[in-house]
Amino acid sequence: MNDKVVNSLLIQKDVHTEKAYEMDNFDPKTQVGNYSYTSSRVMKHVYNKYQVQGKPKVFGYYTDWSQYDGRLDNKFDKGDRGAGYDLANLSPTAFDKIIFGFIGILGDQGEKKNAINAAASQQNKNKFEPLFLDPWGDFQSYRNCDQPEDWRPIDIATVTQEDTKGILGGLRDFQQKAKKLGHELALSMSIGGWTMSNIFHELAASSQSRKIFALGVVKLFKQFPMFSEIDIDWEYPNDKGNENPFGPEDGDNYVVLIKELREQLDSAGRSDVKISIAAAAVVTKIAHSKIKELLAVGLYGINLMTYDFFGTPWALELNHHTNLMPKEPEGDSVDTVINYLIAQGIPSERINIGYAGYSRNAKNAEIESFSPLKGLYDTQKTPTTGTLESGSTVWADILYNYLDLEEQCGRNGFNVYTDQIADADYLYSPESKLFLSIDTPRTVKAKGEYVVKHNLGAIFTWTIDQDNGLLVNAAREGMGCKIETQVIDMKPFYFEGINVDAKNGKDDPDQTDETEKTNHAPKGHIALRVTSGSVVQLSAQASSDEDGDKLSYQWTLPAGIVSADTKADVIEIKAPEVSAATDFSFELVVKDAKGAAAEKQYFVLTVVKSQNVKPDPTPKDYPAWVVSGHIYSKGDKVIYAGVKYICINPHTSNSGWIPGVAITLWNETV
């Protein structure tokens, strides 16, 4: 790792991170259950400056807890470790808006109950009033907040925008830095969130509690007039979320809550304040929020949380957590929820989509198909490797241990894959079986392009403090912003995975095998043999080993293609029927008798529609299923693997929507 760090433009060594690795015996190549404690300090910051006039906005959430890392004070207990993100590393022109998170509400009985009660006692709050959750980090700290180190006392009960330190003082000064650079930076505050939505059901249900809350919000704007927006993050109306109370009346009550909040802000002379909500991006959940009615009573923007579509251990099978397109009809995706809202008559310019600065992981993953992604994983409720928590790895950790953007490959045995159906990237180690669903510069750029194409309002990130500039740069470039000042050339980072571009199919140069000192690894080779008709042979017989060892073979086949023996030196397959040129990616691993493996071999077979097939004057009632590019209408009949099927939903075929597997598209018939 450290040899790469020396010349890297994106990562650097952090002694506290390395010490934690040593203490924990953490090895990203093999770990699937232990946590990584990688700090944000391993990132080099590479924010380009762009011309943003006339373009959609880019904003993000900024967490007050990201400032902490006890290792800076030589505290290495796992509970003391943190990201240690320094606000001073953020470019004042990178974002158009920063949403501070999170503000709690007194009376919440969820997992943050004790912290809320403690903070409320210092801020003299009453039930249903909003409050800052971390008085030290929000008002008093200085490290990583870009504030001077001093010990002047701060009265928590009466603190103002002028005298605050902490992250609020840092944001105050940060906004002024942006202004001096000619950049308009809005500040918003987010109330609620996943861990503090327990009280919304009760709060929204009565006029008295709604009034207390709305007046409390007005107080916050008077206390900190630098804020010009507010973000309500109720997760979720008429849904339990994090084991919260809920009911069918939540949607109507939500509308009244936003209406009365708008009225109180207007009465206080803050008609300039914009109200947004963080909303579920799953159609069945967002339907309860009554978005159209919310817009009618004063809502300005909808921040769709287009991430966390997948997670461990609750997801039934492998999936993407922040994909742009659905990998099966009606599946969760950015496009699915956008189409739903547009069909409901929601103005597109009020809709904002999100990208993720973190992954969702799965262990013991077995991938059946790379594109569209299909596979299973270990759903037991045991820890999965992540950064500081189970099953989620932040961008700094991804760059440092799993993804080498500069070499366009994975690290430590991981490969980069692209699901072209879902327009999503992911990382996977065939050795450790750990899977990471991620956003990359390529996928974020694609989301930026989508914003422009569909006339959306903005793109945003969870979270700003997880990025080093690569992802926000990609968002700007996706929306067509021209570079004003370049720190990093982004073009090399917009690559697709090895299953799409076989030339990228190479192992991480960091990987070594201890047996290489005494044993030579074999050399793999794939040869293509085409027999009569559509029968194809892939041969590994030209593979060799300097020691003369007996070799073993393991082929990985794309979805829709089968072979009698995937461990033979020569496999025979039948090229599937297609209506347009289609690529199928094959993978070969060759090992010798001592277990030493050759560099993986990849071969892309392009199958094209035959031009020499004579039309059948009497077509069969059940023609063979066409694996890719064929338009099927409801009622169309096919035969696949000897079984007859009838189409129940119109679609264009691809190698992942196989009859008998894609049950929403095909029904077996007789």
Residues 78, 207 contacting (CB under 8 angstroms): no
Alpha carbon of residue 300 to chain centroid: 25
What's the pLDDT at 656? 66
Q: Write down the H helix ranges in 181-248.
A: 200-203, 207-223
Closest CA relative to residue 479, chosen from 440, 450, 454: 450
What's the pLDDT at 191? 99
Angle CA(221)–CA(227)–CA(233) in degrees, nearest 5?
A: 85
- Catalytic residue numbers read 235
Task: Give the torsion sign (CA, 570, 571, 576, 580).
Answer: negative
What's the pLDDT at 170? 98
Give pLDDT tens digits for 97-144: 999 999 999 999 999 999 999 999 999 999 999 999 999 999 999 999
> What number of other Cβ atoms are within 10 A of residue 205's Cβ?
18
Give pLDDT tens digits for 178-219: 999 999 999 999 999 999 999 999 999 999 999 999 999 999
Q: Give me the architecture of the 631-668 domain, per CATH.
A: Ribbon (2.10)
Closest CA relative to residue 415, chosen from 562, 551, 599: 599
d(CA 667, CA 487): 54
Give pLDDT tens digits for 347-375: 999 999 999 999 999 999 999 999 999 99
d(CA 636, CA 645): 8
User: What top-level class would CATH report for the domain 518-607?
Assistant: mainly beta
Taking the complete model, does pTM exceed 0.85, yes or no? no
Q: Parse the chain into domains and list their residue ranges.
A: 56-359+439-487, 518-607, 631-668
d(CA 474, CA 486): 13
Helices 441-453 and 334-343 cross at an angle (nearest 10°) of 10
Bridge partners for 545 per DSSP: none
Query: Which CATH number, 3.30.390.50, 3.90.1150.10, 3.20.20.80, 3.40.190.10, labels domain 56-359+439-487?
Result: 3.20.20.80
What's the pLDDT at 536? 82
Cross-sheet strand order for the sheet of 601-607: 552-556, 582-591, 601-607
d(CA 644, CA 661): 13
> What number of other Cβ atoms are within 10 A of residue 147's Cβ?
21
Phi and psi (nearest 5°) for 216?
A: -65, -40
Residues 44, 14 contacting (CB under 8 angstroms): no
d(CA 392, CA 404): 18
d(CA 168, CA 189): 11
Binned average pLDDT, 10 residues per bin, the chain of 670 residues: 76 97 98 98 98 98 99 97 98 99 98 98 98 98 94 92 98 98 98 99 99 99 99 98 98 98 98 98 96 98 99 97 95 97 96 99 98 96 97 99 98 98 98 99 99 98 99 99 98 96 41 39 50 68 83 83 86 75 74 78 69 48 80 86 84 76 81
Share of the chain above pLDDT 90, in %: 73
